[in-house]
């Protein structure tokens, strides 16, 4: 067994904390815990014994609040003659980042305390039904003095650019999805029966086109040229073709006849309703086009940036797109901040349901994945797993074998762990030729 893993009961992280506080009296260890929110933060300062040095107080998010925090730390440090100062906070959305960066600029290391660990700590202290900022900050401080938390390494340089661009890209992808759903909603009201998305309904009534709506160019053109069945039902095939050609869009007479026939058999909606919905439809289509244009620009910039990082090697792997690589790079950050793949995986929070007291209750069935880590990393990693197992036979076989003997959630987590191990080895060696888990297997 690896000596590094057995040197401390909590592994390398526990060993690092033990080395930091070795020989120090708990009274000379200062813990500064912060409960982060959008407009103010709650601070409490105590020593290594848990004895409160400075009772909980609020600071604002401005320079005055930061100065107040620094002054409070200095006063507490002088009063206790502290030799080590530990600062910890929950990684609440992006609200913690500015404060944590300023603390690092003051040569003050910051530890991020996992939100799930804080919740569990509250429950262990029989405070399940209570939730106040002061209780939260106390739970954070208790974890901090026990050496919990991971060092905060903010993204910088090219990784900062990749991170921010990808987060905006994810927001735009979500916005595009919302707009597409709104457009479908408009069409259901304007032209009932034009789109039949349900498979069971398609078996009962054949749709106008058998292809997916968002991949059918004719339907895309139709909702831009003339989506209103009131108007369509009055046209001849030749007139509809001319309307398409006037906007430089392609349409044949046979297809035009099919569209007009569909409009004429439709139970027409209220004319005023269809008119206002057509107006709203055109606005949403224009907005969707703008969002998709911006998405294309963001993805292009991300591809250019990733090409200048070690992560570019992942883009050579079958099953990973440049956008997926960019998302992983954005979530992981500078690979120099990690010594091995396990540290990256731990940050993802992908932990399968655990059994109590070593009893294998229903073999883990019914236990949910505990979402304790970085949501961006978790999503990027699971997206990569989903496509890699379709193109990499070794991962596919590994996943299939686990699905036979393990619950679905456990199998997914184990496959993700295997995937990040492989990706880390590829990144470390800057070689995409051989899959680590099988000799001679091309990745």
User: Mean pLDDT for each 10-residue chunk of the chain (443 residues)?
Assistant: 57 81 90 93 93 93 96 95 93 89 93 81 59 77 88 92 96 96 95 84 79 90 95 96 96 95 94 96 97 97 97 94 96 91 84 45 46 80 93 90 88 92 92 57 44
Domain boundary among 238, 267, 300: 300
Is 348 inside a domain boundary? yes
Same domain, 238 and 103: no
Pairing of strands 110-112, 84-89: parallel
Q: Give the number of C-alpha atoms closer than 13 A to the C-alpha of residue 278, restricted to the C-beta side.
A: 19
Same domain, 8 and 136: yes
CA distance 99 to 91: 11
Same domain, 114 and 177: no
Is 442 inside a domain boundary? no
Same domain, 103 and 236: no
User: Cα–Cα distances in Å, from 117 out to 38, 295, 349?
Assistant: 21, 36, 11
DSSP codes of every residue in 139-182: HHHHHHHTT-SEE-----HHHHHHHHHHHHHHHHHHHHHHHHHH
Same domain, 18 and 139: yes
User: Cα–Cα distances in Å, from 415 out to 314, 335, 345, 426?
Assistant: 18, 21, 11, 17
For the chain, how many structural domains are there in total?
3
Is 440 inside a domain boundary? no
Same domain, 262 and 191: yes
R_g (Cα) of the chain, nearest Å? 28
Same domain, 169 and 218: yes
Closest by alpha carbon to 305, among 158, 431, 170, 439? Answer: 158
Same domain, 402 and 344: yes
Is 438 inside a domain boundary? no
Domain boundary among 116, 151, 186: 151
Same domain, 177 and 71: no
Same domain, 140 and 37: yes
Same domain, 175 and 35: no
Range of the domain at 416: 310-429
Same domain, 260 and 361: no
Structure-token match 């596919």, residue found:
396
Is 434 inside a domain boundary? no
Buried b or exposed e, range 419-441, using 16+ CB within 10 angstroms: bbbbbbbbbeeeebeebbbeeee
Q: Estimate the crossing angle of helix 322-332 against helix 157-190, to 10 degrees.
A: 130
User: Residues 278, 227: contact at Cβ < 8 Å?
Assistant: yes
Is 157 inside a domain boundary? no
Is 124 inside a domain boundary? yes
Domain boundary among 122, 151, 180: 151
User: Residues 409, 367: contact at Cβ < 8 Å?
Assistant: yes
Is 443 inside a domain boundary? no
């Amino acid at each position: 067994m690896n000596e590094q893993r057995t040197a401390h009961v909590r592994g390398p992280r526990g060993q690092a904390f033990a080395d930091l506080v070795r020989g120090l009296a708990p009274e000379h260890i200062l813990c500064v815990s912060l409960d982060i929110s959008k407009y103010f933060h709650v601070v409490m300062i105590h020593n290594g014994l848990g004895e409160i040095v400075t009772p909980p107080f609020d600071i604002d998010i401005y320079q005055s609040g930061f100065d107040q925090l620094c002054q409070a730390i200095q006063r507490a440090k002088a009063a206790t003659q502290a030799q080590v100062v530990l600062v910890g906070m929950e990684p609440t959305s992006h609200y913690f980042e500015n404060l944590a960066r300023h603390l690092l600029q003051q040569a003050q290391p910051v530890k991020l305390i996992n939100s799930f660990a804080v919740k569990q700590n509250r429950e262990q202290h029989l405070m399940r039904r209570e939730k106040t900022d002061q209780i939260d900050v106390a739970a954070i401080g208790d974890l901090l003095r026990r050496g919990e938390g991971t060092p905060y390494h903010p993204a910088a340089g090219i990784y900062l650019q990749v991170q921010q661009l990808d987060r905006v890209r994810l927001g735009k992808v979500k916005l595009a999805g919302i707009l597409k759903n709104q457009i479908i909603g408009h069409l259901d009201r304007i032209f009932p029966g034009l789109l039949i998305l349900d498979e069971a309904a398609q078996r009962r009534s054949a749709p106008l086109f058998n292809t997916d709506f968002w991949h059918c160019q004719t339907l895309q053109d139709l909702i831009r040229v003339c989506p209103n069945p009131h108007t369509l039902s009055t046209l001849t095939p030749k007139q509809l073709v001319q309307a398409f050609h006037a906007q430089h869009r392609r349409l044949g007479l046979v297809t035009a006849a099919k569209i007009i026939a569909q409009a004429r058999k439709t139970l027409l909606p209220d004319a005023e309703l269809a008119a206002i919905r057509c107006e709203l439809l055109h606005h949403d289509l224009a907005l969707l086009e703008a969002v998709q244009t911006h998405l294309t620009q963001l993805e292009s910039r991300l591809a250019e940036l990733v090409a200048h990082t070690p992560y570019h090697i992942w883009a050579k792997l079958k099953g990973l797109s440049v956008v997926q690589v960019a998302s992983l790079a954005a979530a992981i950050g500078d690979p120099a901040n990690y010594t091995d793949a396990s540290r990256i995986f731990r940050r993802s929070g992908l932990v399968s349901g655990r059994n109590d007291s070593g009893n294998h209750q229903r073999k883990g069935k019914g236990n949910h994945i505990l979402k304790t880590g970085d949501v961006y990393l978790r999503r990027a990693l699971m997206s990569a797993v989903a496509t890699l197992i379709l193109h990499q036979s070794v991962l596919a076989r590994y996943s299939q074998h686990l699905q036979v003997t393990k619950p679905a959630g456990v199998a997914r987590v184990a496959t993700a762990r295997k995937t990040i191990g492989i990706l880390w080895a590829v990144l470390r060696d800057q070689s995409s030729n051989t899959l680590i888990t099988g000799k001679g297997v091309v990745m």
